[in-house]
Amino acid sequence: MSLRIELGESPAVVERLLDAAAEPIERVAQAVRARAIDLAVIAARGTSDHAAVYAQYILGARNGMVVAPATPSLSSLYDAPPHLARALVLGISQSGRSPDVVSVLADARRQGALTVAVTNEPDSELAGAAEFVIELGAGPELAVAATKTYIAEVGVVAMLSAALSGDAESAKQLRAAPAAMRAALDQESRVKRLAASRARIEECVVLARGFQYATAREWALKLKELTRVLADPYSGADFQHGPIALVEPGFPVLAVASAGPALAGMLELLGRLRDRGGEILTVSDDATILAMGDGVPLPLMPEWLSPLAAIIPAQLFAYHLAVAKGLDPDAPPNLTKVTRTL
């Protein structure tokens, strides 16, 4: 039950984060402004890499930054780090112990870059390599698969965007996010029924666009980790460039869509997939999207913050699907809590 308990702690984790991380995040924002930095490079692996995908969208759309994923092997294997001196370099890691992510921050700091570690372990190697440390403060996470720490990472990125913008309305919207997250948790009984009805699936695609693309990627990862379902995540745009050929009658399609610029395209795509006989399950705050198949409603909230709530029914679905398949979601095979890669 560790995973389910930890998942349920997520709203309280974000509430604490809004207070505890406000000062260090503001210091980072001040340093970004003082150096006129407009480029961010993010080093992360696994679940944390999906928080980095969220950062690509939010720091780009709301703060006008160019955001790129780091290529850790350039530092850890090839000893050929790129020039990062004029960048904000973020290392995102629950454990802070993956050598390749640490190496990116260490190289960047030697070059004089603004380096920031986002981690649940303030005494970790990653924290030691960075100029600034933002602690997730999620408390111990015993389940192998990350839930509350992923949401905390997304929360930190959202707080950084708000701090960079200096917008009072953004801060107010952030304060309302934990209540929306609790409303998403209230959908558990519906999610459990939908997961039980899909206990025999072995493959699926997970679709989204825009801010929710990170949610689709993390949902797919949780399905692979916990349920052994071959879940392939796609941008709704990329999916139409070939992979759409996969969808035939009965093929499982999972989708996340929130009100905003990406909604119309997702609606058109899901309509096409329904016409092809796809078995559609959606997580959305839009009634038309929800009517495309089985739907899990989300509370209406600003699009830039919607991934904080949208991932919760996705995590719940993966958890209950694992249980329905007779698997132990707390101890998936061949996985360890801390993965060290070079």
pLDDT tens, position by position, 249-300: 999 999 999 999 999 999 999 999 999 999 999 999 999 999 999 999 999 9
CATH number at residue 277: 3.40.50.10490
Average pLDDT over residues 322-333: 92
160 and 15 in a common domain: yes
Instruction: Tell whether the model's pLDDT for residue 218 goes beyond 70.
Output: yes
Q: Please give the pLDDT value at position 341.
A: 64
* pLDDT above 90 coverage of the chain, percent: 93
Has residue 204 been placed in a domain?
Answer: yes
For 36-62, the pLDDT digits (tens) are 999 999 999 999 999 999 999 999 999
Q: Please give the pLDDT value at position 342.
A: 62
pLDDT category, 6, cuts 50, 70, 90? Answer: very high
157 and 184 in a common domain: no
Alpha-helix runs per DSSP H in the chain: 2-8, 10-20, 22-34, 47-63, 72-76, 99-110, 125-129, 148-165, 168-185, 188-196, 213-227, 236-239, 263-275, 287-290, 306-324
229 and 156 in a common domain: no
Q: Please give the pLDDT value at position 310.
A: 98
Has residue 336 been placed in a domain?
Answer: no
Has residue 303 been placed in a domain?
Answer: yes
Instruction: Tell whether the model's pLDDT for residue 33 goes beyond 80.
Output: yes
Of 166, 190, 207, the position where a domain reaches its end is: 166
290 and 258 in a common domain: yes
pLDDT category, 332, cuts 50, 70, 90? Answer: confident
Of 131, 166, 201, the position where a domain reaches its end is: 166
Mean pLDDT of the chain: 95
Instruction: Tell whether the model's pLDDT for residue 337 goes beyond 60.
Output: no
Going by C-beta distance under 8 Å and a sequence separation of 6 or more, which residues neighbour residue 101? 43, 44, 45, 72, 91, 92, 93, 126
Residue listed under structure tokens 């602690």: 135
Q: Please give the pLDDT value at position 339.
A: 63
In sequence order, the β-bridge partners of residue 204 are: 231
Q: Please give the pLDDT value at position 213.
A: 98
233 and 304 in a common domain: yes
Of 143, 166, 189, the position where a domain reaches its end is: 166
pTM assigned to the model: 0.96
Distance from chain centroid for Cα 201: 24
Has residue 341 been placed in a domain?
Answer: no
311 and 185 in a common domain: yes
Q: Please give the pLDDT value at position 291.
A: 96
Active-site positions read: 337
257 and 300 in a common domain: yes
Query: How many domains in the chain?
Result: 2
pLDDT category, 245, cuts 50, 70, 90? Answer: very high
User: Domain range spanning residue 157?
Assistant: 2-166
For 128-174, the pLDDT digits (tens) are 999 999 999 999 988 889 999 999 999 999 999 999 999 999 999 99
226 and 144 in a common domain: no
Has residue 329 been placed in a domain?
Answer: no
